[in-house]
Chains A and B, each alone.
Chain A
């Protein structure tokens, strides 16, 4: 089946630094990738939608200058948390939607990246 990977799986950084998270579709081409954030004991919150080769569409309340998203190829999207602060500590999850995939599954999710900002 379709596999989505994320790197790193966890990261600890100092406040004020930037962190990049990669999301890769390993065996299919993803025309659309989504980035979610999940705080403890809460549901997933969609942050942004990125389509390959175009600018990401951010959800209301998500700062596009703070959460930079790049979807440069059909298998890779990156999320950069710029000038991270402790309140950015969260579980970041990406998902990918494949083009022309016959299966009924809507999105394939990555394993998530745990970010801790000190």
Chain B
């Protein structure tokens, strides 16, 4: 399982764009990159997933360079409600059995 490295914490003001980078140097060919958001005392919530280049949905964008050894989650114009822990996970997305390992995550604090 690919190990991931993220900053432990980040602060941002409301309305700013936040970019959280995750390193995964030993990512495998069939691995996808998935980001989850977790609020205190809640289960993780899926944000976005990608394999290469750029993926965008209604809440975030995911940038993946050609070597796929890192990825960046971009949250546009954050609000106070975006204060949470963000996890970057790497693993295969096919087949019935797979397990992923959660890293430390990045605690994002949005400041008014």
Q: Is the CB of B43 within 8 A of A114?
A: no
Give CA–CA (A93, B26) in the complex, Å. 27
- With a cutoff of 8 Å between Cβ atoms, the chain A residues found around residue B105 in the complex are 43
Say if the beta carbon of A65 comes within 8 Å of chain B: no
Give CA–CA (A70, B34) in the complex, Å. 28
Within 8 A of A (CB), among B65-112: 87, 89, 91, 93, 96-105
- With a cutoff of 8 Å between Cβ atoms, the chain B residues found around residue A108 in the complex are 46
Q: Chain B contact residues: over half helix, strand or loop, or mixed? A: loop
Most buried by B among A44, A97, A110: A44
Across the interface, B100 reaches (CB within 8 A) one of A31, A106, A110, A112, namely A106
Q: Is the CB of B102 within 8 A of A104?
A: no
Give CA–CA (A27, B1) in the complex, Å. 29
Q: Is the CB of B43 within 8 A of A106?
A: no
- With a cutoff of 8 Å between Cβ atoms, the chain A residues found around residue B101 in the complex are 46
Interface size class of B (residues with CB under 8 A): 20 to 34
- With a cutoff of 8 Å between Cβ atoms, the chain B residues found around residue A43 in the complex are 87, 102-105
Q: Is the CB of A106 within 8 A of B97?
A: no
Give CA–CA (A46, B99) in the complex, Å. 8
Say if the beta carbon of B7 comes within 8 Å of chain A: no
- Residue in chain A with minimal CB distance to B103: A43
For the complex of A and B, list the 6 residue pairs with the smallest distance between their C-beta atoms, beginning with the closest: A109-B43, A44-B102, A43-B102, A104-B49, A105-B46, A31-B96
State the B residues within 8 Å of A (CB): 32, 34, 36, 41-46, 49, 87, 89, 91, 93, 96-105
State the A residues within 8 Å of B (CB): 4, 6, 31-32, 34, 36, 43-46, 49, 51, 91, 93, 95, 97, 99, 104-112, 114
